[in-house]
């Protein structure tokens, strides 16, 4: 069964750090670009970051650039999001998602989603 | 940055009726790189349509996407009880990840 399982969310003070993980099962992580998408309480979806299949190419939304780092360990089928200098506006459910396509041609529509992990930034 | 505007904000319909949702882009989309997602309360989004008109795996054929350039439509031919949800469009041609619309809620009338 194809599954993405996020973990690592929680309550953190402004300026603090968290590291999110996404355990992948049911498909070879190394063949696919992966992304993080977030949703603030009661709000819409916001793309956060994407990483290419090999990990060499990474992209970020302007709102998190310089503070968040996406990475992957294909040998452990795990995706990560290191979040530093957290702000109240980073409060959201963070979803791990799989991009369509494969290692040769990435389609940045997201066909597999995890259940999400909640990050709350508050003092 | 390409901005997507979805309309209406809320659509009140009865089961069995046809739903028509609109997504308008501030610039023409490369290769019609437009996706639609469905999100039910308390659940993660689900991909319905990509490439403006291609249905994702296991999506019922009552869902269809159309449009090109800047104007796109998601149609649900006959609403089933499980179709009442929030729908988002996403453009993914201008940059990796792209941008999402603000969503249209389809509610039971």
At CA B86, angle to CA B39 and CA B103, rounded to 5?
115
Nearest CA in chain A to B87: A44
**Chain centre to alpha carbon of residue A26:** 18
Whether residue B47 contacts residue B37, with contact meaning beta carbons closer than 8 Å, is answered with yes
Whether residue A114 contacts residue A35, with contact meaning beta carbons closer than 8 Å, is answered with no
Task: Give the separation between CA A5 and CA B6, rounded to whole angstroms.
Answer: 30
pLDDT given at position A78: 97
Res B86 pLDDT > 90:
yes
Please tell me the distance in Å from B18's CA to the nearest CA on chain A. 24
Express each pLDDT in A27-77 by its tens digit: 999 999 999 999 999 999 999 999 998 888 999 999 999 999 999 999 999
Confidence of residue B96 (pLDDT cuts 50, 70, 90): confident
Question: Which of A117, A110, A119 lies closest to A2, judged by CA?
Answer: A110
Question: Count H helices, E strands: chain A?
Answer: 0, 11
Q: DSSP label at B78?
A: S
The radius of gyration computed from the CA coordinates of chain A, to the nearest angstrom, equals 14
A44, B88: Cβ pair inside 8 Å? yes
* A-chain residues near B88 (CB < 8 A): 44-45
Confidence of residue A106 (pLDDT cuts 50, 70, 90): confident
Express each pLDDT in B8-55 by its tens digit: 999 999 999 999 999 999 999 989 999 999 999 999 999 999 999 999
A45, B90: Cβ pair inside 8 Å? yes
Whether residue B99 contacts residue B2, with contact meaning beta carbons closer than 8 Å, is answered with yes
Question: Helices (DSSP H) in chain B: which residue ranges?
Answer: none
Whether residue B63 contacts residue B53, with contact meaning beta carbons closer than 8 Å, is answered with no
Express each pLDDT in B59-68 by its tens digit: 999 999 999 9
Whether residue A46 contacts residue B100, with contact meaning beta carbons closer than 8 Å, is answered with yes
Whether residue B56 contacts residue A111, with contact meaning beta carbons closer than 8 Å, is answered with yes
Whether residue A40 contacts residue A30, with contact meaning beta carbons closer than 8 Å, is answered with no
Task: Give the separation between CA B44 and CA B33, rounded to whole angstroms.
Answer: 21
Nearest CA in chain B to A94: B44
């Amino acid at each position: 069964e194809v599954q993405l399982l996020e973990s690592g969310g929680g309550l953190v003070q402004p300026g603090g750090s968290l590291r999110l993980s996404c355990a992948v099962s049911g498909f070879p992580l190394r063949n696919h670009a992966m992304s993080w998408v977030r949703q603030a309480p009661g709000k819409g979806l916001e793309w956060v970051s994407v990483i290419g299949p090999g990990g060499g190419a990474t992209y970020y939304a302007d709102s998190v650039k310089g503070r968040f780092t996406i990475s992957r360990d294909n040998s452990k089928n795990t995706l990560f999001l290191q979040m530093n200098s957290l702000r109240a506006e980073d409060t959201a459910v963070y979803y791990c998602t799989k991009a369509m396509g494969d290692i040769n041609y990435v389609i940045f529509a997201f066909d597999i989603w995890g259940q999400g992990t909640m990050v709350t930034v508050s003092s | 940055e390409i901005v997507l505007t979805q309309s209406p904000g809320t659509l009140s319909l009865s089961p069995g009726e046809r739903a028509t949702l609109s997504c308008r882009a501030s610039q023409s989309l490369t290769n019609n790189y437009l996706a639609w997602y469905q999100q039910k309360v308390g659940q993660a989004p689900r991909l319905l349509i990509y490439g403006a008109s291609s249905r994702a795996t296991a999506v019922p054929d009552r869902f269809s996407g159309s449009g090109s350039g800047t104007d796109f439509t998601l149609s649900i031919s006959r609403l089933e009880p499980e179709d009442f949800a929030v729908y988002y469009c996403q453009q993914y041609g201008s940059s990796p990840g792209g941008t999402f619309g603000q969503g249209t809620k389809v509610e039971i009338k």
